[in-house]
Every structure is written in C-alpha cells, then in structure tokens.
C-alpha cells in the first residue's frame, strides 16, 4: 500500500460495510478510503507525511446524508434580522429593539427575527400564542414605538413549517405608516390584522399561510434579501451542517437559479463543504406552459440525470409542488423573489403536473415531488410512465407520511426513491394528521419491507440528523406526549437510512455512505455511540470532528 495521507486509529468504526461492519482503523489516500482494519496493521503503513488521527476510542461513522436539508435557510437566518432567540418576555424583546435603535440611524429599518423561546433538546420553539410570553401578550406598536421612535420596526413571522400557526409578526407605527396600513386596510389572504377597541391596528398581524405573504403584500416596502445575502448564506450554511456531522445532502424541494448560482460561487471559493445535489425549482405559478417548456429546455443539458457536476455541487432534475393556489398567485406577482423559501412557490394541478413531468421525462430530466396526496401523485407518475418510461430512473417522492400496501407496491414497481422526515411526528403530529394515523403514519418500516429505498431528512428543523434518527426510532409526538406506535427499526437500520440510502438519490451509492476501500473519505468522530447510548441521548449526539474527503471541515474544539 502506498503511503497514506491520513490514518485514523483507535476508534470504534461503524463502517456500514457488510463485508466488515466494524473496525479500529482506516487509511485515506487521495480523498478516498484505501484500507480498513486493525490499528496496528494500519499504523505500520504510515509514512513521513502521513497525518495520524487518534480517535481515542470514540465512535466513527460515515458522513451523514440529509435527504431534505433546506441548507441555505440556516445561513440565511443570520441575514434575516436581529435574533431574539431565548427571549420569553415582551420586556426582553423591547430591550433588544431599544439597543438596536441606539445604533441605527433615524429612518432606517430595524428588522428582527421571529420571536423564539429557548430550544428544547435542540428543537427550535417559535412563539405562536401570547401566553408563551411572560406578560401573556405579544409586544405591540406602542411597545416598539417607545423603544424606537425614529425607526420603522418589524418583528418577522416565521417560515410556516418551522412552527405552529398562526404565525405572529409585529410592526411599530412608523412601519405601519410606510406600509400604508390603517384602520381601513383589508387583511390579505390567510392573514389577520389585530385591532384595538377603536378599530386601529395594534401592530400585531397573524398569518396561517405556510409560505408567508406579508412581504409580497402589505410589507412590500420591507428591505428584501439580496443576492449577497444568498451568497453569504451559501458560504456559511455548509459549516453549520458539518457541525451536525452532515457531509452530503439532496435538495429535492428545489432551488431557484439564484440559489444554485450562490452555491456554485461558494463551491469555487472552497466554502461548499457539503456534497450538495439540488433539483431546480420551476416557477410554474409565474409563467405559462410555454414558458415552463422553454425553462426546462434551457436547463436540460445541465439537469438531465445524473446532472451537471462541478466540485461539490450537482444540479439534477426538477421539483414540482402542490400548494394553495391563492398563495401561489400572490407570490408569483413577486417573481423571481423567493424570500425564505429558496424555491419558487408552486400550486400545480394534476393535469398540468402530468404535462410538465412528461416533457421533463422526454428531456431525460427526473422529477421530485412532495407527497401531499400520495394517490394523486402516484397516478400522475404512472400517467407519465405510460408515455415516457420512468421506471428505475430514480424519480423521488418526498415527505411520505402515509401509504397503503397497494401504493407501496406501485412505488416499488416504478423504481421510486422515498424520503421521510421523522421530525414531523415530534412537532407537527396533529397539524399533519399523523396523530390520527398513529402507528400507520410515517411508515418507515413498511417502506423498507416493500423493498423501496428510503432516506431520512431533517427539513432544517432541527439540522441534526441524529434528531431524525431519534425521532424515527421513538416516534414521539410532543403535542400528544405519546409515541405513535412502535418503529420496529433497529438503531443500525436507522443509521443506515441517514448514511447509506441517501447517496442513491445522487447516483453515488458506489462511492459514498460507507467506510470501505474505494469510498470517499467522508466521516465523523462522535461524542457518543448512537447504537448503544441511552435512547434519548441519540438526539444529543454531536460530532467532535467532521471530515470531507479526508480533510477536516468541523472541529468542536475549534468551535468552542
């Protein structure tokens, strides 16, 4: 064996390679695993320039794959306004506004991130009801006016899938005036404007739309995210995911061309430290069928499977989506602005989905779609398959939460890949109907038994895939304080669903997802063993160090 670049030894290496499930050590050369075995044997091959990494008896796993990360949003949070995380009272929030006003020139906007309590076990907790704050009420325009009399102030509402509706936002008098909001203003779709006894707006607005529309309607005057914000998010987000052990991801929900370009630039600068594959979002609500056809043809050379690859970035396929047509019309008027989403909001009817997907299939472009209505989606995929065969071309169904045995049989027959977000059981069991489904919801075991490839995802809430692992195993629903049946999964199976299956989404199963000769040297040294630690500690698992192609991309010691 040639002199390795790196040797890791003295570890409990969970290889996820059936040929050698566990080892003590492995050698890396040229960014790939060259050999796996015992520490003594590996160390005998060390050379003068070989880096030696003592794992100290810690558990080592392949790099984690997130099948639906929405990675850009995590970095964008730092650009979205002043954070007010872990503030549990109006008084504390108002004090942050007062401090911001002291350093902000008169007339300039003061924008704050959504109201947020301290996280619980790593899960974010956004304020949706007034009794979550100490005073039993939200701040109002008068609170914000007293703290910042010379500035327009807005406390943003959250991206709708981060919390529980209705989602509050708060404006002061200057912001309301700039937006033209008064006693006669009508609330836009899915939004309420709270008013005092005299009929004047209090500054509190509450929205039920999952994709917030205030920036597209009443607050079109608010400073928007710029491309520079997107680029900075693309540069910083990967490190935040590396800190959770994530080294690869699949953005099946799609990204706009601007976000794809920001990742391309981040990759060229060496900042894309996650191997990221993304589908292209289609602005179907903003352009007609002819425009969609032109859009797909213009991208076809880059996104036909297995997609264009540049460094750590791959662009492969498209995403089509269902949604509220009223919200789609409103957001389409702001095209191409994507606000928090990172993708274009869509509300594609069945017949149109089949037409667009058939065109895509003819161009060699595969489709990823969210399973809001699994039966309608399957019928659409089957209708496309009747015209242009898609079986075995790795089309994707995302966020599968329910399926009959017949539907699973049809999924398997089409050769589809499924992604599942177990965390939905924890923070959205009632809202998504998982509570009533109970043991039949989030059917990971049944999908596996049907022979269907399934990969787990975080959906950015929270970013740690060990949270997803814990949720998949426990099936705990916080709003019910109960488990939604048994998982019938082993811990090793759950770990494989966040390491081994994901690379199938990106055509990389032969080179990623295991610590075995020939595989990319993506791995993490963990602070505990998720296969043997107490069950509730699985969600607390953190990497001490994360490596991509044998190079360190995260160190807990450096972070501290």
Task: Identify the CA nearest to 366 among candidates 275, 454, 251, 279.
Answer: 279
Q: Are residues 465 and 541 in the same domain?
A: no
β-pairing verdict for 6-9 and 25-29: antiparallel
Buried/exposed code over 59-75 (b: 16+ C-beta within 10 A; e: otherwise): bbbbbbbbbbbbbbbbb
Query: Residue 413 belongs to a domain with what CATH number?
Result: 3.20.20.140
The answer to whether residue 72 is domain-embedded is no
Band of pLDDT at residue 372, cut at 50, 70 and 90: confident
Spell out the SS3 assignment of 130-187: HHHCCCCCCCCHHHHHHHCCCCCEEECCCCHHHCCCCEEEEECHHHHHHHCCCCCCCC
Mean pLDDT (whole number) for 194-210: 97
Of 193, 216, 239, the residue at which a domain comes to its end is: 216
Q: Are 432 and 421 in contact (CB under 8 A)?
A: no
Using one digit for the tens of pLDDT, what is the confidence trace for 82-131? 999 999 999 999 999 999 999 999 999 999 999 999 998 888 999 999 99
Q: Which residues make beta-bridge pairs with 13? A: 23, 60
Q: What is the per-residue DSSP string for 517-548?
A: TTSB--EEEESS-TTTS-GGGGGG--EEEEEE
The answer to whether residue 541 is domain-embedded is yes
Q: Are residues 119 and 245 in the same domain?
A: no
Vertex 72, ends 66 and 421: CA angle to 5°? 35
> Taking 90 as the threshold, does the pLDDT of residue 159 lie above it?
no
The answer to whether residue 65 is domain-embedded is no
Vertex 482, ends 478 and 483: CA angle to 5°? 105
The answer to whether residue 67 is domain-embedded is no
Q: Is 556 exposed, middle or buried (0-12, 13-18, 19+ CB in 10 A)?
A: middle
Residue 134's domain comprises 81-216
**Average pLDDT of the chain, as a whole number:** 96
Q: Are residues 207 and 233 in the same domain?
A: no
**CA-to-CA distance for 409 and 414, rounded, in angstroms?**
9
Task: Identify the CA nearest to 371 among candidates 321, 444, 433.
Answer: 321
Mean pLDDT (whole number) for 226-245: 98
Of 216, 243, 258, the residue at which a domain comes to its end is: 216
Percent of the chain with pLDDT over 70: 100
Q: Are 133 and 125 in contact (CB under 8 A)?
A: no
Task: Identify the CA nearest to 132 among candidates 94, 87, 71.
Answer: 87
Q: What is the per-residue DSSP string for 478-492?
A: TTTTEE-S-----HH
Mean pLDDT (whole number) for 319-323: 93
CA-CA-CA-CA dihedral for 465, 469, 470, 476, to nearest 10: 100
The answer to whether residue 234 is domain-embedded is yes
Using one digit for the tens of pLDDT, what is the confidence trace for 22-31? 999 999 999 9
> Taking 80 as the threshold, does the pLDDT of residue 351 lie above it?
yes
The answer to whether residue 285 is domain-embedded is yes
Angle between helices 374-387 and 350-362 (to 10 degrees): 40
Q: What is the pTM of this model?
A: 0.97
Q: Are residues 140 and 211 in the same domain?
A: yes
Q: Which two tokens mark 543?
A: 């990497």
Q: Are residues 294 and 334 in the same domain?
A: yes
The answer to whether residue 62 is domain-embedded is no
> Taking 90 as the threshold, does the pLDDT of residue 161 lie above it?
no
Q: Are 36 and 13 in contact (CB under 8 A)?
A: yes
Using one digit for the tens of pLDDT, what is the confidence trace for 495-546? 999 999 999 999 999 999 999 999 999 999 999 999 999 999 999 999 999 9
Whether the bond into 477 is cis, omega within 30 of 0 = no
In 10 A of CB 411, how many CB atoms?
A: 27
Q: Which residues make beta-bridge pairs with 456? A: 420
Using one digit for the tens of pLDDT, what is the confidence trace for 164-173? 899 999 999 9
Q: Are residues 502 and 522 in the same domain?
A: no
Q: Are residues 488 and 530 in the same domain?
A: no
**CA-to-CA distance for 364 and 359, rounded, in angstroms?**
9
Q: Are residues 462 and 346 in the same domain?
A: yes
> Taking 90 as the threshold, does the pLDDT of residue 239 lie above it?
yes
Cβ contacts of residue 259 below 8 Å, gap of 6+? 72, 230, 234, 278, 338, 342, 343
Q: Are residues 231 and 203 in the same domain?
A: no
Q: Are residues 500 and 529 in the same domain?
A: no
Query: Residue 51 belongs to a domain with what CATH number?
Result: 2.30.40.10
Spell out the SS3 assignment of 54-77: ECCCCEEEECEEECCCCHHHHHHH
Of 158, 188, 216, the residue at which a domain comes to its end is: 216
Mean pLDDT (whole number) for 262-279: 98
The answer to whether residue 460 is domain-embedded is yes
Mean pLDDT (whole number) for 239-244: 98
Q: What is the pLDDT of residue 1?
A: 64
Band of pLDDT at residue 163, cut at 50, 70 and 90: confident
Sign of CA dihedral 430, 433, 437, 439: negative
Using one digit for the tens of pLDDT, what is the confidence trace for 385-441? 999 999 989 999 999 999 999 999 999 999 999 999 999 999 889 888 999 999 999
Q: What is the pLDDT of residue 120?
A: 87
Q: Are residues 553 and 435 in the same domain?
A: no
| Residue 154 backbone phi and psi in degrees, to 5 | -140, 130
Work out the end-to-end distance of the chain between its first and last CA atoms, rounded to an integer number of angstroms.
37
Mean pLDDT (whole number) for 469-494: 97
> Taking 80 as the threshold, does the pLDDT of residue 473 lie above it?
yes
Q: Are residues 191 and 243 in the same domain?
A: no
* Domain count within the chain: 3
């Amino acid at each position: 064996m040639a002199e390795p670049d790196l040797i890791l030894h003295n570890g409990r290496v969970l290889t996820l390679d059936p040929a050698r499930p566990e080892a003590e050590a492995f050698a890396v050369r040229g960014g790939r695993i060259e050999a796996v075995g015992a520490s003594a044997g590996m160390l005998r091959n060390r050379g003068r320039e070989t880096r030696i990494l003592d794992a100290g008896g810690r558990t080592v796993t392949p790099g984690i794959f997130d099948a639906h990360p929405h990675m850009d949003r995590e970095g964008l949070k730092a650009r979205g306004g002043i954070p007010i995380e872990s503030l549990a009272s109006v008084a504390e929030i108002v004090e942050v506004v007062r401090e911001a006003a002291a350093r902000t020139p008169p007339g300039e906007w003061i924008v704050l991130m959504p109201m947020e309590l301290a996280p619980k076990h790593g899960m974010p907790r956004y304020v949706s009801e007034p009794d979550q704050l100490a005073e039993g009420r939200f701040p109002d325009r008068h609170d914000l006016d007293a703290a910042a009399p010379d500035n327009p102030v807005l406390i943003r509402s959250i991206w709708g899938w981060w919390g529980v509706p209705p989602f509050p936002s708060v404006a002061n008098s200057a912001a309301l005036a700039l937006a033209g909001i008064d006693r006669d203003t009508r609330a836009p779709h899915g939004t309420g404007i709270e008013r005092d006894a005299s009929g004047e707006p209090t500054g509190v607005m509450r929205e039920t739309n999952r994709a917030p529309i205030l920036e597209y309607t009443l607050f079109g005057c608010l400073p928007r995210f710029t491309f520079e914000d997107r680029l900075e998010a693309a540069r910083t987000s990967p490190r935040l995911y590396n800190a959770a052990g994530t080294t690869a991801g699949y953005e099946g929900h799609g990204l706009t061309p601007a976000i794809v370009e920001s990742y391309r630039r981040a990759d060229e600068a060496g900042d894309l430290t996650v191997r990221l594959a993304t589908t292209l979002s289609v602005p179907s609500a903003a352009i007609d069928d002819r425009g969609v056809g032109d859009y797909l043809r213009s991208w076809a050379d880059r996104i036909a499977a297995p997609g264009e690859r540049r460094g750590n970035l791959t662009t492969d396929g498209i995403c089509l989506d269902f949604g509220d047509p009223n919200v789609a019309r409103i957001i389409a008027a702001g095209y191409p602005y994507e606000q928090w989403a990172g993708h274009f909001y869509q509300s594609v009817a069945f017949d149109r989905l089949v037409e667009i997907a058939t065109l895509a299939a003819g161009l060699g472009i595969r489709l990823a779609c969210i399973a809001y209505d699994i039966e309608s989606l399957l019928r659409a995929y089957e209708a496309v398959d009747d015209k242009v065969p898609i079986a075995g071309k790795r089309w994707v169904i995302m966020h599968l939460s329910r399926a009959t045995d017949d539907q699973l049989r049809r999924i398997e027959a089409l050769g589809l890949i499924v992604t599942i977000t177990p965390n939905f059981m924890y923070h959205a069991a009632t809202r998504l109907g998982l509570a009533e489904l109970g043991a039949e919801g989030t059917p990971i075991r049944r999908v596996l038994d049907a022979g269907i490839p399934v990969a787990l995802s975080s959906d950015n809430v929270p970013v740690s895939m060990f949270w997803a692992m814990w949720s998949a195993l426990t099936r705990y629903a916080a709003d019910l304080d109960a488990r939604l049946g048994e998982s019938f999964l082993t811990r090793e199976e759950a770990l494989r669903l966040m390491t081994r299956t994901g690379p199938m989404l990106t055509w990389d199963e032969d080179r990623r997802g295991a610590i075995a000769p020939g595989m990319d040297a993506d791995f993490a040294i963990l602070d505990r063993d998720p296969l043997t630690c107490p069950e509730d500690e699985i969600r607390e698992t953190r990497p001490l160090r994360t490596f991509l192609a044998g190079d360190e991309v995260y160190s807990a010691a450096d972070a501290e």
